[in-house]
Structure 1
């Protein structure tokens, strides 16, 4: 009779343990649930990034862009038949022509840099063992005396000094033959992007040859009374 009593006691104890476990599970679930009325704390991301938020504009409040002063800003309506093509405006003077027109050169002539040029007259200079003259212009003799309003002055010497002052020992880029000539030969030269002949004639320190390209520059110098056409300098 002892064995059945022990079996009943074990069964009752197991039932009690199962009931206690079930109650414990129910209590744990109730304690872990969050009350819906409790406000949730703000996220740390919102506190870290304190940036103003953009307000979304409703679609019905958006309006398309409109043109202001359409008659003033918009180009006028033109009839293509009324348009007329005209020739391009020529330059105001030869002073703006930095590079002279390209002229055919002998095939054996090459463009070289002549360093430390020294003017020997208003259009001639010596550099690196060469004696050269600026092409397309006629120089002023060193002993020439100019007169302006009955006032005489040595314009020949002043013209050479002006040429030297403009050079200031800077290298001239000239088209020269491969061999050095005994006498000075006329060659086209430029200082940087400025044509040497155009500078001399437009400033009145040389005159243009009849067959040259500096006729307009000489007219400008005469009108402005520059160089030999003006007062003593």
Structure 2
């Protein structure tokens, strides 16, 4: 209620606790499935191309997120519930914004359709530095899911 009075926004629900990484943009936080808001990571089975060779960018994105979290608990601020019933949120391990970290390091792209321009600057950093998926060529995750491979 205090948050609503100060910001005009209803309070956000928080989900916190131990975490299991399901893929590069989905977590299980203390039994609640959370989709990371505003980003889209390669699917676990998705491959990308770098230097003329395919590599398992989806599996590496998943591993990068797991490594970044380490053994820390995660806190997610709920932004929405998606059509699959998952919480959609911005998640932190300690003080690190995991959503932004994934995009800034090239393990996910900004998902403008659902997150607007919130992670645009992070994506530019990754592109310019040729980090993660930006180190070669890849199909956008939303296109890959539709079968464009």
Q: Normalising by the residue count of structure 2, what TM-score does the alignment of the two structures yield?
A: 0.74
Higher Cα Rg, which structure: 1
Instruction: Indicate the residue corresponding to 1:223 in structure 2.
Output: 128
Aligned CA RMSD, in angstroms, stands at 2.4
Q: Could you tell me whether the CA contact under 8 Å between 1:118 and 1:169 is conserved in 2?
A: no
Q: Normalising by the residue count of structure 1, what TM-score does the alignment of the two structures yield?
A: 0.49
Higher relative contact order (CA 8 A, sep 6+): 2
Unaligned runs of 5+ in 1: 1-102
Q: Within the alignment, does 1:117 sit opposite 2:9 as a pair? A: no
Q: Measure, in 1, the Cα distance between the counterparts of 2:69 and 2:110.
A: 20
**Structure 1 residue 182 displacement after superposition:** 6.4
Q: Measure, in 2, the Cα distance between the counterparts of 1:182 and 1:209.
A: 17
**Hey, which of these two has a bigger chunk of strand by percent?**
2
**Structure 1 residue 183 displacement after superposition:** 2.9
Flag the 1:104–1:219 CA change in 2: closer, same or farther, 3 A.
farther
Q: Could you tell me whether the CA contact under 8 Å between 1:201 and 1:218 is conserved in 2?
A: yes
Large movers: runs of 4+ above 4 Å: none
Unaligned runs of 5+ in 2: 1-6, 137-149
Flag the 1:125–1:104 CA change in 2: closer, same or farther, 3 A.
farther
Q: For 1:55-86, what per-residue CA distance to the aligned partner results, in whole angstroms no more than 9, with x for missing partners? A: xxxxxxxxxxxxxxxxxxxxxxxxxxxxxxxx
Q: Measure, in 2, the Cα distance between the counterparts of 1:127 and 1:111.
A: 10
Flag the 1:104–1:122 CA change in 2: closer, same or farther, 3 A.
farther
Q: Measure, in 2, the Cα distance between the counterparts of 1:104 and 1:204.
A: 34
